[in-house]
């Protein structure tokens, strides 16, 4: 049975989130720092600027942004356990502030033009309830960003359905844990994601399952909506992993 994204994270994803990323958040943060350095045009001036990480999870992008020199990094997520984990990772990085809130609500609480940049990475966009929610994020980001401020997005284009065994996707496996998922393309707007985690203990293997809906957003649709909300798209490509990377500047 499908559950809300927040409930799915609480039940299954949050306890396994950092493991899914490879198990070493500092290593993942270093790879994200390299990516963000490219997408944001290099490091920040030391101790300057305010940025927001929308849907920060356990903090790979947040830590990367802090290490790039930004003076204030708002790490925004709806999962309290992931934010608690992030706070542990962020010790010694005073720039990081965790915010337990939805992206739009958190952005709306900021002064107009308060942000130099915002990032929304992984599949955070696809976890929103509908396309109107995505546009609400773009609208809120446009208001919160300063003139010329940048919005960095990464996301998967699930607009084309998969069939048969192509719907089964390995996530990660180690000696004691295996995670896979499979996709049901329920309708034109959503895909149902079924996550399965097998864990080995002294008593043998057990497994946990949970399902949740994910949005099907075409990359061209994302670009069109960004432009409608006052952005200029400066970078738009697809990585070897299949993630689209889109960078948009807030127009004057």
Q: Rounded to an integer, what distance in angstroms lies between the CA atom of residue 28 and that of residue 26?
A: 5
| φ, ψ of residue 61 in degrees (nearest 5) | -75, -35
Residues 33 and 54 occupy one common structural domain: yes
One domain for residues 127 and 179: no
- Say what the pLDDT of residue 4 is: 78
Instruction: Assess contact for 232 and 248: CB atoms under 8 A.
Output: yes
- CA distance linking residue 196 with residue 208, whole number of Å: 6
> What is the DSSP-derived secondary structure letter of residue 245?
E
Strand order in the sheet with 115-120: 96-100, 70-77, 48-54, 115-120, 145-155, 244-250, 231-238
pLDDT score at 44: 67
CATH number at residue 9: 3.40.50.150
Q: Are 80 and 183 part of one and the same domain?
A: no
Of residues 42 and 68, more confidence is placed in 68
Query: CA-CA distance, 141 to 108, in Å (whole number)?
Result: 8
In 55-203, the DSSP E strands lie at 70-77, 96-100, 115-120, 145-155, 168-173, 177-184, 190-201
Q: To 5 degrees, how large is the angle CA 75–CA 171–CA 78? A: 25
Q: Check residue 111 and give its pLDDT.
A: 97
CATH of the domain at 181: 2.20.25
**Exposed, middle or buried, 117 (CB in 10 Å: 0-12/13-18/19+)?**
buried
Same domain (yes/no): 117, 184: no
Integer Cα distance of 50 and 45 in angstroms: 11
- Read off the pTM: 0.94
As for how many domains the chain has, the answer is 2
Residue 147 has pLDDT above 60, yes or no: yes
Q: pLDDT tens across 44-57, in order?
A: 655 679 999 999 99
pLDDT mean over 203-207: 94
Are residues 48 and 65 located together in one domain of the fold?
A: yes
Per-residue burial over 205-222, b = 16 or more CB atoms within 10 Å of its CB, e = otherwise: eeeeebbbbbbbbebeeb
pLDDT number for residue 11: 85
Q: Is the pLDDT of residue 202 over 60?
A: yes
Please indicate, yes or no, whether residues 13 and 84 belong to a single structural domain of this protein: yes
DSSP conformational letter for 47? T
Q: Are residues 51 and 147 in the same domain?
A: yes
The pLDDT tens digits for 80-137 are 999 999 999 999 999 999 999 999 999 999 999 999 999 999 889 999 999 999 999 9
| pLDDT at residue number 41 | 85
**Average pLDDT of every residue of the chain:** 94
Pair (241, 137) in one structural domain:
yes
Specify whether 185 is located in the same domain as 113.
no
Q: Which domain holds residue 119?
A: 5-157+217-250
Instruction: Determine the average pLDDT of the residues in 142-171.
Output: 96
DSSP at 11: I
Tell me the percentage of the chain whose pLDDT exceeds 70. 97
Residue 2: what pLDDT? 54
pLDDT tens for 4-24 read 788 888 888 899 999 999 999
Q: What is the structure's pLDDT at 230?
A: 95
Cα 165 from Cα 150, distance rounded (Å): 39
Residues 153 and 173 in one domain: no
Residues 6+ apart with CB under 8 A from 206: 198, 199
CB-based contact 224:138 (threshold 8 Å): no
Average pLDDT estimate for 214-239: 97
- Tell me: do 230 and 205 sit in the same domain: no
Q: In this structure, what are the phi and psi dihedrals at residue 146, rounded to the nearest 5 degrees?
A: -75, 165
Q: Are 130 and 53 in the same domain?
A: yes
């Amino acid at each position: 049975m499908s559950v809300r994204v927040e409930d799915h994270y609480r039940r299954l994803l949050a306890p396994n989130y950092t493991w899914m990323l490879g198990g070493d958040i500092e290593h993942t943060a270093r790879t994200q720092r390299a990516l963000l350095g490219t997408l944001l045009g290099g490091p920040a001036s030391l101790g300057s600027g305010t940025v927001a990480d929308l849907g920060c999870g356990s903090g790979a992008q947040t830590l990367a942004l802090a290490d790039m020199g930004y003076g204030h990094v708002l790490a925004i997520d709806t999962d309290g356990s992931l934010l608690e984990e992030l706070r542990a990772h962020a010790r010694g990085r005073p720039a990081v502030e965790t915010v337990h809130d939805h992206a739009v609500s958190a952005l709306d609480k900021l002064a107009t033009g308060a942000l130099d940049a915002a990032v929304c990475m992984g599949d955070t966009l696809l976890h929103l309830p509908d396309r109107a929610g995505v546009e609400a994020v773009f609208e809120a980001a446009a208001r919160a960003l300063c003139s010329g401020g940048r919005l960095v997005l990464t996301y998967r284009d699930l607009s084309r359905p998969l069939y048969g065994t192509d719907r089964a996707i390995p996530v990660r496996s180690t000696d004691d844990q295996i995670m896979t998922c499979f996709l049901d393309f329920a309708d034109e707007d959503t895909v149902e994601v079924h996550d399965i985690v097998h864990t080995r203990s002294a008593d043998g293997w057990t497994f946990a399952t949970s399902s949740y809906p994910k949005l099907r957003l075409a990359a061209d649709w994302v670009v069109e909506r960004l432009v409608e909300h006052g952005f200029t798209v400066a970078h738009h490509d697809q990585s070897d992993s299949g993630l689209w990377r889109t960078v948009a500047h807030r127009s004057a």
